Amino acid sequence: DEPFIAYLQAGTGTYTTAARFRELVDNICGQPGVTGLFIGTRPDCVDGEMLDVLRPWLYRKLVWLELGLQSANDATLDRIGRGHNVESFSKARALASDRGIPVLAHVILGLPGEGPEEMMGTASYLARQRVEGVKIHHLQVIKGTRMEELFQAGMVVPLTMDSYPGLVAGFLERLP
């Protein structure tokens, strides 16, 4: 069997009971060829009991927790209807750190109402959080979503190919 890393996200990877999550994790990690497990989830859907499920696997598999922060600006998170705040990310990060679980943060550059200052503020926040990794996404406007409505109303202006690379470089420069 070829080795592979399983990725549990479909919606939110921890949006279940701890008992069901344990069943899923044990089943996935027990499959032949699975060398690791990455769990993508929202920071408000993580608690100590859920993370304790991962502890037995930490030294047998490559285990990472991917948390969807998107922005370190509560006004932005509220504006886009994320349903969580920055403090929930800080709490989830601390819970994972206490258990030795590495955290990879997801961020989106170009969110409505954010300019370079807010985006670089997210980078600085993540540097202070000392996350182990960051996935930087550009804003995607998908047909049929609230974001498309904002785009059609002129309230969302996607980043250009000229501006995006410089923003990503500035973001990365702020990370350790």
Q: Could you tell me which of 158, 67, 168 has the C-alpha nearest to residue 112?
A: 158
In the chain, where does DSSP find H-type helix?
Answer: 18-29, 48-52, 74-79, 86-98, 116-129, 146-152, 164-173
Write the pLDDT tens digit of every residue in 66-90: 999 999 999 999 988 889 999 999 9
Write the pLDDT tens digit of every residue in 114-165: 999 999 999 999 999 999 999 999 999 999 988 899 899 998 888 999 999 9
pTM above 0.85, yes or no: yes
Question: Using alpha carbons only, what angle is made at residue 149 by residues 144 and 151, rounded to the nearest 5 degrees?
Answer: 110
- pLDDT (mean) for 1-12: 81
| CA distance linking residue 161 with residue 158, whole number of Å | 10
Look at residue 13 in the predicted model and tell me its pLDDT.
63
